[in-house]
Structure 1
């Protein structure tokens, strides 16, 4: 898919420093085209080429605006206001699961992107300061189709492919990944919104392939698997973060990029996003680098609200029961990887307890409240984990922004399972709660989440495709 015009700008938050938002504006241009300069406070900034794909070149312009006042920039004769005052009352949007596993490029654009249109309407009425993308920003599962080395991925792969065949696979995959990102940039409501609201993204498995890290090592560590990961990571850095390897913005906690965890802090608000995919295997969710970054963040003194993005829900029902049943049922074993993706998997019990311990460490620190933001399950729900200081740890799940929901029967089954309760940390029981206005614990409807800060008070509002906004939840 080659665009017939320059796409963008896509606004990305690089980092916050010295009272300013450092931003990157990303453009996708057809071969031979170059985006014109953008203007900020009468200063012209020329986009420079970031990366070339077979069908498109990416350009980036970096600039900064004050973090305590509204701002704007101009490109191609149009003014783009930015609600960049993040010091007082504030609105954030959180989304996840932007696509589907099969046939996503062939869906009707208006139907697929109905919730993006909803968020654009919301922004026009009351602007968002940041747009948080919680995983599966694209569904790249079909990117492997059409090449002999990856056509049958992950069921069958060549054991020892020739180097020139891997080079050919790389170019095939690069074109197919770019195609998916370009398709999203071409939708009017999405493009309008992301040009005005700085984005922060955390990736999940479909940004690579379904179940990445939970598949057998013979697949992920094969030459084909490693080529797939490298191409996915390149596309993730470019389209989701506006950068390339070796040039990571200061918010990333590992400049070398072995993991892509990041954090952003400003007065009264901190955002933490561990990378739950780059270091994942069937027996671990993060390696030493990811854990070191999270432990440092948990130990650091902070006053205010900490929002922790966990692409896979950290608080959930006892999925280990389902996992055990699936292993014993041959027809269901193909879903084992989906359950191993979860924190609650038997394979990740110690990692789960370790991460929950870090959440409790922050939640029970003086002057700090922690809220978990999650997606991934194509349903909306919320959960609480009891803390010793009497203030529960909240988890808010919003999923998916374009992925259609599973059958309501699945939502009811998860709700029934959640009644069993779960206490992986002694003295800190987890309970799945109902979203205000809902009869069931899990809501099978496309949705997005809006977080609002008024003074020192926070509230969460789910926006559903058919029901509209839910009553506000005080957190």
Structure 2
């Protein structure tokens, strides 16, 4: 069972299923104690009954599937009205975030400190509403869920042998309880909940949604019985809590109907949103399998503008230099998995070039913006292309506290050296507008806005406030 101190209810939580001529297709999730009732949801003049999609750890997960037309202004649940942006053909605002937590002790942090940037985002939404909430990875930090069970306490360094099916079933139950605990703490936060009930979400996962460095760890660890059990439970929890989905929904929500790759694509008026899954098929010498490449390399249905969520920055500094010399300094080897996680790793050089070519192919159809997180800093980059650059905007650390300033300066030095694996397509790392340094060590989130047909981006920084708008 989950800890008694963990929240026992959350929601409604909106998930963006799609958009067409009839309006928005949405799912709303409500989580209650399994013996508590769930009322009706009213939308477009219709009362909708909830369907229970899961029962676990004493909680019931209920889901409503419904539509909102362009003339609708929201929905009602149990006598509370929730406004939702439904007229998406003109001006449009999107929010982007990543890294909602920390590796150690996140459950013990003061909620006011931890969720301070969520409060700012909620205030921003109340002033000028968002149409969608894009979550770029590490929505939870699950690194500690392996603790407290004899099979996983020492994993990945210590890999148990000879575990029985009963042992692994007990491990899965232990892991599931840990995941539920962490998800419930985040979903029940007043700051997050105030947004999630009014702004439909799209989320891609990254390593901490599973464990630190998943896919870049030694194969013996990830392919072990403990590793497979951990991934299976993490995937089940990701589907349930970040998409309001179960296995039977995969073919309707994600591009790959087999579920081998949990990348998604959605069309809103004038913009295509897509996110390849950089974790499900990842190995120490590959970022994605062919299911993932099919999403990134196929033509988009509505190429007016494309926004790609890459959980790990696609345009980055020459981290391969660090990999080349890290073995010269004692203690640096512990960062091998972190470096191998990056597109710029020497192990992923060919995959990186393939991804850049795919993005250039999309750029030939229309403007492309890449959104990334993962590094706990704010920065941006440009890749030279015709008829104009590919922009990358990194917003990372909505809850994760900022790293030391020296870390940001070190990355800035690597960025000064430059990197461009494709001839004629130089990559430059640049400061956010109005900032002196390329990397800003402050907690942050990003707002993208379309106004009168023109797009711009603004970072919201914890100490420095809003940046100047960046035309994209």
TM-score band w.r.t. shorter chain: over 0.9
Question: 1:246, 1:255 within 8 Å by CA — same for their partners in 2?
Answer: no
Q: How does 1:328-343 map to 2 (within 5 A)?
A: 328-343=328-343
Matched, 1:404 2:395: no
Task: Select the residue among 55, 72, 76 that pairs with 1:52.
Answer: 55
**How far did 1:70 drift?**
4.9
Is 1:471 the counterpart of 2:465? The answer is no
Distance 1:13 1:267 in 2: 14
Out of 365, 385, 388, the position equivalent to 1:387 is 385
**For residues 306-365 of structure 1, what are the alpha-carbon distances to aligned partners after superposition, in whole Å with 9 as ceiling and x for unaligned?**
000000000000000011122333411111000000000000000000000011111123
Show the counterpart of 2:319: 319
Q: 1:4 to 1:335 in 2, by over 3 A?
A: closer
Query: What does 1:12-91 align with in structure 2 at a 5 Å threshold?
Result: 12-66=15-69, 68-91=70-93
Alignment correspondent of 1:353: 353
* Residues 52, 58 of structure 1: 8 Å contact kept: yes
Query: SS where residue 170 of structure 2 aligns?
Result: helix
Unpaired runs of at least 5, structure 1:
none
TM-score w.r.t. structure 2 length?
0.97
Map 1:61-460 onto structure 2 (within 5 A): 61-66=64-69, 68-248=70-250, 250-296=252-298, 299-300=299-300, 302-365=302-365, 368-389=366-387, 391-460=388-457
Which runs of 5 or more residues in structure 2 are unaligned?
Answer: none
Please report how far the alpha carbon of residue 43 of structure 1 lies from its aligned counterpart in structure 2 after TM superposition: 1.2
SS at structure 1 position matched to 2:339: helix
Q: Is the Cα contact below 8 Å between 2:460 and 2:467 reproduced in 1?
A: yes
Q: In the superposition, relative to structure 1, how do residues 5 and 165 fare at CA in structure 2: closer, same or farther (>3 Å)?
A: closer
CA deviations 1:183-217 (Å, max 9, x no partner) are 01221111111100000000000000000000011
State the 1:266 CA deviation.
2.8
Structure 1 outlier segments of 4+, above 4 Å? 2-5
Count of aligned pairs: 469
Shift of 1:4: 6.0
Distance 2:24 2:194 in 1: 20
Shift of residue 148, structure 1, vs aligned partner: 0.4
Kept after mapping to 2: 8 A contact 1:6/1:35: no
**Cα distance in structure 2, aligned partners of 1:409 and 1:69:** 51
**1:152-207, Cα deviation, whole Å (9 max, x unpaired):** 12111202211111000000000100100100122111111110000000000000
The alignment partner of 2:417 has SS state of coil
Q: What is the rounded CA distance, in whole Å, between the counterparts of 1:56 and 1:257 in structure 2? A: 26
The 1:346–1:232 alpha-carbon spacing in structure 2 relative to 1, beyond 3 Å, is: same
Q: Secondary structure at the match of 2:314?
A: coil
Whether the aligned pair in 2 keeps the contact of 1:246 and 1:257 (CA below 8 Å) is no
Q: Write out per-residue CA displacement over residues 361-381 of structure 1, whole angstroms, 9 at most, x where no aligned residue.
A: 11123xx10000000000000
